[in-house]
Amino acid sequence: MRTAVFSTKAYDRCFLQNANADHRHELAFFDARLDRTTVALVEGFEAVCVFVNDTLDADVIHALAAKGVTAIALRCAGYNNVDLVAAEATGIAVLRVPAYSPHAVAEFTVGLLLALDRNIPRACARVRENNFSLDGLIGRDLSSRIVGVVGTGRIGALVARILKAGFGCDVIAHDLVPDAALVALGVRYVDREALFAQAEVISLHCPLTPESRHLINADTLALARPGVVIVNTSRGALIDTAALIAALKTRHVGGVALDVYEQEGDLFFEDLSSEIVDDDVFQRLLTFPNVLVTGHQAFLTEEALTAIAETTLSGLSALETGQSPPNLVTTDRLVPR
């Protein structure tokens, strides 16, 4: 299948080309993101392959359909950037990668928490300047702390398991469908309000839907314990950043570790080191010494990239041969407003 691959970096090309040896699709790689200004590039292609910050709203979807595109292959699990109603109306199949390597994101989540809690980035920076003072580097044990995991799908369940079995945390969780294996391990499911009120650490692992947007906001932060630590490796818009900054300024939030940001589309995956970043909210966030931000890299392991490439191309191969791929995304996944 002739496929235009957008938002590509060197690692995308490498892993997709390796996986394509078994599929023999015709892949054309574009550095640009897919949006209304670049949709003209899909002329003559049957499919597009996109990532988290590509824009596939109704206008783009209709433009794709007009150019003969029949498939959208997402190199990610989330699909909040795709207008599924427009895709279904135009007959364009939408594919995703529902489970590439949950271990990659789960392990990175715990790594972020440890780095924040134990002041590891600050300590490394000091040592490079031959400053071996330990003042200001006091952390806290994870053992016995109450950790709230919001969303216990594949990734959230692994985080809960690592923190419960590996670190001895008292793990509480919230999900519409409790995981029986986690309950057997001693994880307690509570409602969302109870989780916010009890947890010393809150880790987010839920999809972005109309209902979960700004899950962390002024009201939910007011419920939280003073000094709460928040970790987000899921979707940036789960957090109202302005409300988070306000809570950091009052010291009500004790620390934040983010691998995602709600306005990351204009920032992440690009080298802006020689540019002026004019996102004042993001720049304010970076001024706090108890905030750790990485650029959406939790998924970035060899195992995950291999699985993403293989699942993406396998889905396109299935469509090409008239089969129904298991990773189709349809409108029945939408949460009613």
- DSSP H helices in the chain: 10-20, 58-66, 84-90, 102-117, 120-128, 154-161, 180-185, 192-198, 218-223, 241-249, 280-285, 302-320
Contacts of 296 (CB under 8 A, 6+ apart): 52, 259, 260, 264, 268, 269
Contact of 333 with 84, CB cutoff 8 Å:
yes
Select from 173, 181, 110, 177 the least CA-distant residue to 146: 173
Q: State the first-to-last Cα distance of the chain, in angstroms, to the nearest integer.
A: 36
The active-site residue out of 46, 200, 262, 264 is: 264
CA distances from 79 to 76, 98, 134, 330 (A): 8, 10, 44, 10
User: Encoding tokens for residue 102?
Assistant: 């949950």
Please confirm, yes or no, whether 296 is among the known catalytic residues.
yes
**Count of Cβ atoms closer than 10 Å to residue 309 Cβ:** 25
Contact of 149 with 159, CB cutoff 8 Å:
yes
The active-site residue out of 33, 96, 205, 296 is: 296
What gap in Å lies between CA 125 and CA 269, rounded to an integer? 23
The active-site residue out of 33, 75, 174, 235 is: 235
Please confirm, yes or no, whether 154 is among the known catalytic residues.
no
* Residues labelled as active-site residues: 235, 264, 296
